[in-house]
Amino acid sequence: MARALLVIDVQNDFCPGGALAVPKGDEVVARANELMDSGRFDLVVATRDWHPSDHGSFAPQGGPWPVHCVQGTEGAQLHPDLERAGIDLLLDKGQDPATEGYSGFEGTELARVLREAGIDHVTICGLATDVCVHHTALEAVDEGFAVTLDTAGSRGIDPQGVDRTLDEVRSRGGAVA
């Protein structure tokens, strides 16, 4: 079984001090590095929100979120302690101002890349458990991949949202570790 690690949106704006900080979001970095260094994965893909300044999810455009992860800004960059050498591919998502871009699959070549690499199982970690990790995990299931959501390497915005995410991943056939 070929395995991939998906490191979702471990970016400055989602960590303490960022524009849309996930509580204790920076705590996922050590676990993501540990997973990358484990030798268990044939491919490591990191995603990042890479929004245009007029993205539809931003409050000034009527969306639910503050302006965050704008293309080319410091907030959109990967957390400085995330080991770049362990990442095989960096995929930007959320570039279309008219779509949410929550899932690492939406508007990217992720499914094709995984299939071409012969991947059949993905482990997912990152930010935020109840938003982008959630959508990526469910879409991975829909794409036919075996899925494990790594809770030690993920943090969420809302505890109840995190619980709902974990329940939904399990109910759709994914694993939670």
Question: Catalytic residue positions?
Answer: 9, 93, 132
Q: How many Å apart are CA 122 and CA 125, to the nearest integer?
A: 10
Q: 7, 106, 29, 19: which is closest to 69 by C-alpha?
A: 19
Burial class of residue 125, CB neighbours in 10 A (0-12, 13-18, 19+): buried
CB count in 10 Å sphere of residue 67:
20
Strands 119-127 and 89-93: unpaired
Helix 134-142 × helix 159-171 angle, to 10°: 10
11: its two tokens: 């970016």
CB count in 10 Å sphere of residue 112:
10
142: its two tokens: 């829909």
